[in-house]
């Protein structure tokens, strides 16, 4: 089983739609999780950390389900500028040994 | 301030040649990561350095790949006897390495093409 798994997509949604991505991880001892965003031919950049209680940043909501070992990212009111690849990241051993999922590609269309 | 710097930005090499890729992390960052990203694919973990601890080399795909880091400074990734399947963007990232929610900052990558 891969350390971090994501549905590669692509997700094609209209502007204004709500879209959700899930990511599963294999190491039950992992304590910290992140979502990164990667634009085409650019380097990944941090979108948001994922806290145990769940957290929200504007239109973006991240949640953690430890029992099922998955994290999710919800994007409300999608914008054209949200088109990118979203990477799930798990801090493998709580020693900043970070592993990335393969990413989920999102395209928001007019 | 300065971000993570990688050089060269592009490298074209002939099959069978050795290449060396360089990463200058953000000053003060103890953790350094190398990833490989093939065209249209996700990030593939290669190696992780944390301070003076032994590096996690579990992602290196073969013994043709090696990486070094001197202290908490520059790292070099060396690929010997390059093959066409080594063509990819090689991304380096660094982080403070302290605390569980430390952000990793990426360089812009080295695009390697093996012909």
Residues of B in contact with A43 (CB under 8 A): 91, 106-109
Instruction: Between B100 and A5, name the one with better pLDDT.
Output: A5
Query: Quick one: CA dihedral B57, A51, B4, B27, positive or negative?
Result: negative
pLDDT number for residue A41: 87
Residue A54 exposed, middle or buried by CB count within 10 Å (0-12, 13-18, 19+): middle
pLDDT number for residue A95: 66
Residues of B in contact with A99 (CB under 8 A): 45
Rounded distance, CA B41 to CA B54, Å? 29
Q: Best residue in A96, A97, A105 to probe B by mutation, most B CBs within 10 Å?
A: A96
pLDDT above 90 for A84? yes
- Rounded to 5°, the CA angle B53-B4-A36 comes to 90
Residues of B in contact with A97 (CB under 8 A): 48, 50, 56
pLDDT number for residue B72: 81
Return all residues near B40 (Cβ < 8 A) that are at least 6 apart: none
Rounded distance, CA B84 to CA B63, Å? 16
pLDDT above 60 for B1? no
- Rounded to 5°, the CA angle B3-B19-B47 comes to 55
Nearest-Cα distance to chain B for A17, in Å, is 25
């Amino acid at each position: 089983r891969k350390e971090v798994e994501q549905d590669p997509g692509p997700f094609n949604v209209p502007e204004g739609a709500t879209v959700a991505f899930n990511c599963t991880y294999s190491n039950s001892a992992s304590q910290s999780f992140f979502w990164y965003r990667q634009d085409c031919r650019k380097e990944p950049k941090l979108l948001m950390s994922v806290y145990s209680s769940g957290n929200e940043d504007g239109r973006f909501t991240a949640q953690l389900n430890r029992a099922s070992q998955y994290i999710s990212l919800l994007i409300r009111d999608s914008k054209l500028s949200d088109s990118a690849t979203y990477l799930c990241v798990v801090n493998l051993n709580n020693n900043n040994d970070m592993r990335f999922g393969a990413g989920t590609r999102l395209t928001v269309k007019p | 301030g300065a971000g993570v710097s990688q050089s060269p930005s592009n490298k074209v090499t002939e099959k069978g040649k050795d290449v060396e890729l360089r990463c200058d992390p953000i000053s003060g960052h103890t953790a350094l990561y190398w990833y490989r990203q093939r065209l249209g694919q996700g990030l593939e973990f290669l190696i992780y350095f944390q301070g003076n601890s032994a590096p996690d080399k579990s992602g290196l795909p073969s013994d043709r790949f090696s990486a070094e880091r001197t202290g908490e400074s520059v790292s070099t990734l060396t690929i010997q006897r390059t093959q066409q399947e080594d063509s990819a963007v090689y991304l380096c990232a660094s982080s403070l390495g302290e605390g569980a929610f430390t952000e990793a900052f990426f360089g812009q990558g080295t695009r390697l093409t093996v012909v």
